[in-house]
A and B are shown apart, each in its own frame.
Chain A
Amino acid sequence: MKNDSVSLTIDGKPVQVPAGTSLLLAAKANHIDIPTLCYHPELKPDGRCRLCVVEIGEAPRTRLVNSCTYPAEPGLVVATASEKVMASRRMVMELLLAQAPAAEHLKEMAADMGVYETRFPKGDPAARCILCGQCVRTCREVVGVSAISLVNRTPKKKVATPFAEQSEACIGCGSCVFICPTNTIAYTEADGIRTVWGRKFELQPCSKCGNYIAPKAQLEHWAKLTGDPVESFYTCKDCR
């Protein structure tokens, strides 16, 4: 439908996208890549990392906005790799490299942008977390349990369970671990016990093959969601 599409210009190229499309996805649909860290297609964009900034407007009245949340507007002129954009992205990258020196993924992304070293003093050499909040959003939006949250402000900001205690709400599903782009979240699995966020979860073996399926707490969560008896989840998907 004509009414529902928006025409704009990205990097000098006229493009048309459905109304409500973010600039990031509008660019992506037109084969223009914008680097992102806190964005994930399955999660609501949150605009945290500010790596995906683009320049909108026409000189001299232009400004930077984060493309993951900014919607395509009719007639908008967007530059995804202008000098201002690149300077900002590189600076953000340098800041992140100083924040999380142990994050390998970050180093690769930085190198792609031509940033090989940060000019800022590095913090804890073992630090990996970049506070992108993907784990928190996954736990809330996808898993639906909100066991973890971002706590404190800048000087002590971190991801944690409430009061840093073992979370009653956590089902041990490990989605936060899976989604984390920098492998920050501690997670072990041994002898039928999974440990995550300081809590031990007993794993349920498959009633047929005996392989571990998932933590009991997670299967109970599924049972609650679906209304089916929890035993109906005691067979792994291969044996079903």
Chain B
Amino acid sequence: MSKIEFPLVTRNLGAIDPESLEAYAAVGGYASLKRALTEMTSEAVLEAVDKSGLRGRGGGGFPTGRKWRFCREAPGEPKFIICNGSEGDPGAFLDRAVMEGDPHAIVEGMAIGAYAIGAGQGFIYVGHEYPLAATRLRQAIAQAKEKGFLGEKILGTPFSFDIQVRRGAGAYVCGEETALINFIQGTIGEPRNRPPYPPQQGLWGQPTIINNVETWANVPVIIDKGAAWFAAIGTKNSKGTKVFSVAGRVKKPGIVEVPMGTPLRQVIFDLGGGIKRDREFKAVLTSGPGGGVLPRQFLDIPVEFESFQAAGANLGSGSMVVMDEGCCMVDVARYFLEFSHDESCGKCTPCREGTKQLLKILTGITQGNGTEEDLALMEELCATMAAASLCGLGQSAVNPVLSTLKYFREEYEAHVRDKKCPALVCRPLLTYTVDPETCTGCLACLRECQVGAITGDVEEPQEIDQELCIKCGMCHAVCKFDAVKVES
């Protein structure tokens, strides 16, 4: 894991025993809850969160205080709060780290939030893929109940609040807040039409707050240090810190937390250690299948909601997948679209049929069957999907496609016009040949070839029959002398 420069959310990760309430209390844990309940009115707590400028870390970036106020002021009792610990996109693992490494921070944050809006019951949704997170959260809840930080009359005050953990069943779309609500209710995990919004009518039709793991983990810090202290960190409209899980072609993949406003370059090159094997940085995809790629010219933009959005990307969930010159951007788009297609719930036509058709087109392009009309059709389809899909999944599934089309159009054109893959990734577009000068005739490739496309005698240069070659790449992989050349 990379060095953590500015820990708020990740303050206790690896530093304390996550299975011990005492360890959490020893570093000041539950002091914020105590302060909120005994020294502050619920309005004052809400005011503090509002003034801190905290914005939702789950992707939308909606001001947390404003969301809480909608819910607090919405008619209807009981009210509910939910922690969204879904985090299913490829390359994101920051919420998992917090849930596994500091579960009490989430419990404390939720208890404070519940006090602020007047909720009596909370739920934590934990993705199917995170069994340890669920175990540790359940354990933390049990410990907190035992010590009187949860349950009836918390810390001797009239405030009562309890939390249940709900394990997902593997659907990515259940990270979408209204699908998540349906899931907890026991109905099909399909998103709902809005309005009404969850703060008005959420779980069982009652006012409901949903925030993600990182947002909840920020709450105790705000109460502890004060709204002004928190608001002093970051930029004009993006306050506090942001946690990223940096993965892909970096030397030091892991979790970093930086103040909002930190240059993107610093996250990737200083904290992430730069590009593996010192190859050229090509792009970074933020926020996974719902995010966009940022090419080199954006390396110096600050990490914050606005600048990312202006660049056509999304701060989103906080995943960063770093790509180097060896990555084909068409293939990257196809990969993430395949994910969105598999995970689309299928409720609305633009997302269901749109991801299906987009994937077909992209797959065709990577196989050398694309046309220039395909590019125009994709752009047209993406526009409808973005505008007319029911939920964020379909609306943002187009981002990897649109952003790669925008910044790496020449790569798409090479695929459709010249049937070439410049990054030498799309196998059907590659040609494998043996360089007779370097080939030693060791026959390693000949033995490996499954279709008998390679011929030649021992210690003589080998030859590849292009008609027979299925472009599996094994000859290239096994050649110790770098004699098998790949071209496109």
Q: Cβ of B387 and Cβ of A84 under 8 Å apart?
A: yes
- A145 in the interface, Cβ–Cβ < 8 Å? no
- B302 in the interface, Cβ–Cβ < 8 Å? no
Residues of B within 8 Å of A91, CB to CB, are: 350, 380-381, 383-384, 388
Interface size class of B (residues with CB under 8 A): 20 to 34
Interface centre among B195, B356, B388 (most CB of A within 10 A): B388
A10-B352 Cα distance, complex, nearest whole Å? 30
- A60 in the interface, Cβ–Cβ < 8 Å? no
Q: Cβ of B195 and Cβ of A96 under 8 Å apart?
A: no
Q: A48-B348, A64-B387, A71-B195 are in contact. Are A98 and B353 (CB under 8 A)?
A: yes
Residues of A within 8 Å of B349, CB to CB, are: 48-51, 92, 95-96, 99, 130-131
Residues of B within 8 Å of A51, CB to CB, are: 349
Interface centre among A50, A130, A149, A152 (most CB of B within 10 A): A50
Bits for A93-112, please: 1 = Cβ < 8 Å to B, else 0: 00110110000000000000
What is the CB-to-nearest-CB distance from A198 to chain B, in angstroms, rounded to a whole number? 22
- A21 in the interface, Cβ–Cβ < 8 Å? no
Residues of B within 8 Å of A131, CB to CB, are: 346, 349, 352
Q: Cβ of A153 and Cβ of B193 under 8 Å apart?
A: no
Q: Cβ of A152 and Cβ of B387 under 8 Å apart?
A: no
What is the CB-to-nearest-CB distance from B34 to chain A, in angstroms, rounded to a whole number? 43
Bits for B339-354, please: 1 = Cβ < 8 Å to A, else 0: 0011111111111111
Interface centre among B353, B356, B380 (most CB of A within 10 A): B353
Q: Cβ of B350 and Cβ of A154 under 8 Å apart?
A: no
Residues of B within 8 Å of A92, CB to CB, are: 349-350, 384, 388
A88 CB contact (under 8 Å) in B188, B190, B345, B384: B384
- A6 in the interface, Cβ–Cβ < 8 Å? no
Q: A66-B193, A153-B171 are in contact. Are A87 and B384 (CB under 8 A)?
A: yes
Q: Cβ of B387 and Cβ of A88 under 8 Å apart?
A: yes
- B377 in the interface, Cβ–Cβ < 8 Å? yes
Q: Cβ of A47 and Cβ of B390 under 8 Å apart?
A: yes
- Residues of A in contact, count (CB < 8 Å): 35
- A150 in the interface, Cβ–Cβ < 8 Å? yes
Q: A50-B348, A152-B346, A153-B171 are in contact. Are A95 and B188 (CB under 8 A)?
A: no
Instruction: Give B338-381 interface residues, CB cut-off 8 Å to A.
Output: 341-357, 360, 377, 380-381
A91-B17 Cα distance, complex, nearest whole Å? 54
What is the CB-to-nearest-CB distance from B407 to chain A, in angstroms, rounded to a whole number? 24
Q: Cβ of A121 and Cβ of B360 under 8 Å apart?
A: yes
Bits for A60-87, please: 1 = Cβ < 8 Å to B, else 0: 0001101001110000000000001001
Residues of B within 8 Å of A155, CB to CB, are: 341-342, 356
Residues of B within 8 Å of A120, CB to CB, are: 353, 357, 360
- A53 in the interface, Cβ–Cβ < 8 Å? yes
- B173 in the interface, Cβ–Cβ < 8 Å? yes
B residues engaging A (CB < 8 A)?
A: 171, 173, 188, 190, 193, 195, 341-357, 360, 377, 380-381, 383-384, 387-390
8 additional A-B pairs beyond A99-B353, A154-B344, A157-B345, beta carbons within 8 Å, are A48-B349, A50-B349, A120-B357, A131-B346, A150-B347, A154-B345, A154-B346, A154-B351
Q: Can you list 21 pairs linking A and B with CB atoms under 8 Å apart? A: A45-B193, A47-B348, A48-B390, A50-B389, A66-B390, A69-B193, A70-B193, A84-B387, A87-B384, A88-B384, A88-B387, A91-B350, A91-B384, A91-B388, A96-B353, A98-B353, A131-B352, A153-B171, A154-B344, A155-B342, A155-B356
